[in-house]
Structures are given as structure tokens and as C-alpha cells.
Amino acid sequence: MIEVQGLTRKYGGAVAVDALSFTVRPGQVTALIGPNGAGKSTALRLMLQLERGRGSTLFAGCRYRELRHPAREVGVWLGAEPADPRRRARTELRVAAAAHGIKRARVDEVLDLVGLAPVAGVRVGALSMGARGRLGIATALLGDPHTLILDEPSAGQDPEGARWLREFLRAYVSQGRTVLVAGHGLTELADCADHVLAMSRGRLWADEAVVDYRARAEGHEVFVRTPQVERLVELLRAEGLAVHVHGGTVLSVSADRARIGEIAFRNGVLLHELAQRETSVADAFCTVAARNRAATESRVRIDQARHFPRSAERAERRAAREDVKLAKRTKATADAYERLYDPTADVTSPPEGVIPASAASGPADTDASVSAIPGPAQASRSSDNRSPHRRPKRRRWLARSSDNDATPTDDDTRSRTRSDGVNV
């Protein structure tokens, strides 16, 4: 039995695992499920004392480092790649067996147990991902442990490998042993699990049997196949039920299967099929996550309003002001587009707030186009207003001759002649 109490791990200001506590009982497969980044792998490393953190984990009353022969009591595979991919599969297991003081004869036994005996002489780097996963499980089984902890064992497994994994874990716990399997493949893990531990954002949201966990999902869809589709749709909608038509003879109804059957029987509607879709673990997880997230946000708002009433009021006023600004900005943009694309609008009239150039030019005989162009003083004034902290750049002007085609003088000719009389 595994007893976990108050595991907590922080990375800077981020909380990876927050006060995690649960119990894994022997004789059943326990699945630690959750999305990527939920903290599952971190929790397993904390349990095995591979990372520092608060809390404790007991394996049959002892910590992992206090076990006399850890590999013979707790088999662990955390999804790590082999140290040397050039080794052969049999050699990899022999190295691990020698490190834990296990006989070499056990290597061939576990290779046959996980189905890797035909590829025992193949190099690890040449194996498929599913075969490497089986090799990791074989490494965890070397000491024939009573407790088995696996992280993402179904990763890379084909349908045949996933089926083998389910059957293997069921046979393993049938001997009264303990199995804890972690991963984000909710459906694959729940098919072979008896108990579910659902994690998200470092917290434990559910700790219950698989049957009870599936029942948490809202909505039960019933698929109905009948030749009298239109008649049954009218009857069900008259009862206030939501009906969706799939194809010509199939309906899906969000209601109880018995109620739909009674409605069809009372009105003489022939049914060919009446099946209720079983709620998946993924649907249950999404439902539980949504409920817990809403409850957490509501609790945070209540605590903030209770302890920091002024901060909550300021946040509400700030949000209201932002909404007003957004509404004004949206209305102004809509008005501008309406003026731009309105065929009845006067194109010659300037937009609102812009003074025509003719009005700003003064007398009528002044050219409007010239008056609209800002002069040097205006340009310098506008540039000063834009960047008053900058000083104007000093430009060095080179003295140039005003007449480039002028004939050089005698002095210039003499200056360009060297002392030896040769022209440059």
C-alpha cells in the first residue's frame, strides 16, 4: 500500500504540486490521470524522493530510501530513455540486474514476460517506441516487486500493445499487488483501472472508483434508430427534449433511455434500436475540471471581496471604464466606415473637426494648396513639440565653389604642379 501525505513542490513562484494526499490500495489498478502539465510526473518523483519538496510517501510503512532492497519491493519506470542506445535489449537489462544484485536468469524471464524475447539481441536505439516502453516495464519487473509505478506506459503502444498492457496489469493486481499508473491517456488508463486519481494544476480533484467517476459527467445521449423519424421527433420535442437527427433513421436525444422508450410505446412508434452512449472518462474529467475551476474562481472572488473590498471595487470600476472606452472606440470606427462607404455622403466635405484649407488661408486670393503646406517655422515648432528633449543636430557644411565650370587660375595651376615640374 502507498500512503501519500501533503506532497508540495514549487519552482520559483509556480506551484507544481499543491498539498497532494491520497492512498493506493493493493489488489487494484490506480490511475493518476490529468492533462499535460498537471504535475503527475513531479508527484511521482517526489514520492520516490528524486526531488526536494514537502510531504512524505510511505511504501508499506517505509520511505523509498529506507527500503533495504528498493528494486525488489517497488518497481519503477518513469519513461526515461535508456542510457546507451547502442546496447542490446538483453544487455540493458543485464546491466540493471547487476546494479540491483539480481540474477541474470531473471533477465530472460522478464523478456519473455513482456514479449521482447524475439528482439532481445536488437540494439535499443533500433527498437520502436512501443518496444522501448515494454523494455522499461521489463526493467521495473526485474526484482519481481510487490508495488509497480509506471509513468506513461501506454505511450507509443499500438492497439495490440495497449491490449497487452491492460491484460498484464489486470493479471498483476489479481495476485494482490499494487499498481499505480500515471498518464494523460484518459481512456486507455481508465479501461484497465479500478480507481481514479484526477489531477489538474497540481491539485487532486477526484479520488474515487472509476464507476463513480464516470457518473460525474453531465448529459446522457441516447441513440435511437426508427423508420418513423419525423413522428418521433415531433413527440420528443413536444416533451421538451433536445433532439438531433443524424442521417435518415438515427436520432440522438439527451434524455433517459427508459423515458424515450415509454414515449415511443404510448404513441405506437416502431423502434429498431435504443442504445445509451456510455460516458467516457475524458468527458467526466472535463466536467469535473470545469466545476472545480468555476468553484475556485468563485472562491477567489469571494475572498478578494471579503479581505480587499476596495481593491475589488476598483477592479470593477476599472473594468466598467474599459468597457465604455471600447464601446466608444467601436462606435467611432463604425461611423468612420459608414462615412467612407456611404454613396450618398458628400465626398468634398471634410470630416468633422478638420478645418478646410481655404478657410484657414485667410484672403480669397491666397492659394489654398500653398497655405495647407506648413512652413519652416511650423515644421520646426511641430518637431519641437514632438521631441522637446532632443537638441538639433549640428551639420557641417563643406564649402563648395559656386561655379563648377570656372577655369582654374594660375595660382591653382601652380599649386597643382610639383617642385620637379611634373603636373599632377
Phi, psi of 132 (to 5 degrees): -65, -35
What percent of the chain has a predicted confidence (pLDDT) above 90? 19
Query: Does 334 score more than 90 pLDDT?
Result: no
SS3 60: coil
Give the H/E segment covering residue 323. Answer: helix 309-341
**pLDDT per residue over 210-246, tens digit each?**
877 776 665 567 888 888 888 888 898 888 888 888 8
**pLDDT per residue over 78-96, tens digit each?**
887 777 888 899 999 999 9
Nearest-5° angle of CA 192, CA 197, CA 203?
A: 155
Query: Does 319 score more than 50 pLDDT?
Result: yes
- Count of positions (residues) in the chain: 424
Q: Which three cell numbers stand for residue 136?
A: 522499461
By CB neighbour count within 10 A (0-12 exposed, 13-18 middle, 19+ buried), where does 253 fall? buried
In 36-144, beta strands by DSSP E: 54-59, 74-77
In 232-388, beta strands by DSSP E: 243-246, 250-254, 273-276
Residues 6 or more apart in contact with residue 144 via CB below 8 angstroms? 72, 106
Share the mean pLDDT of the chain.
76
**Which has more confidence, 420 or 223?**
223
Domains and CATH numbers, the chain: 2-210 (3.40.50.300), 221-278 (3.30.70)
Whole-prediction pTM value?
Answer: 0.59
Q: Are 242 and 329 in contact (CB under 8 A)?
A: no
Q: Which three cell numbers stand for residue 206?
A: 477526484
Query: Does 179 score more than 90 pLDDT?
Result: yes
What percent of the chain has a predicted confidence (pLDDT) above 70? 67
Estimate to the nearest angstrom the gap between the alpha carbon of 276 and the chain centroid.
31
Query: Does 307 score more than 80 pLDDT?
Result: no
- Band of pLDDT at residue 347, cut at 50, 70 and 90: very low
Q: Which three cell numbers stand for residue 376?
A: 519652416
SS3 145: coil
Residues 126, 132, 136, 138, CA torsion sign: negative
3-state SS string for 109-137:
HHHHHCCCHHHCCCEHHHCCHHHHHHHHH
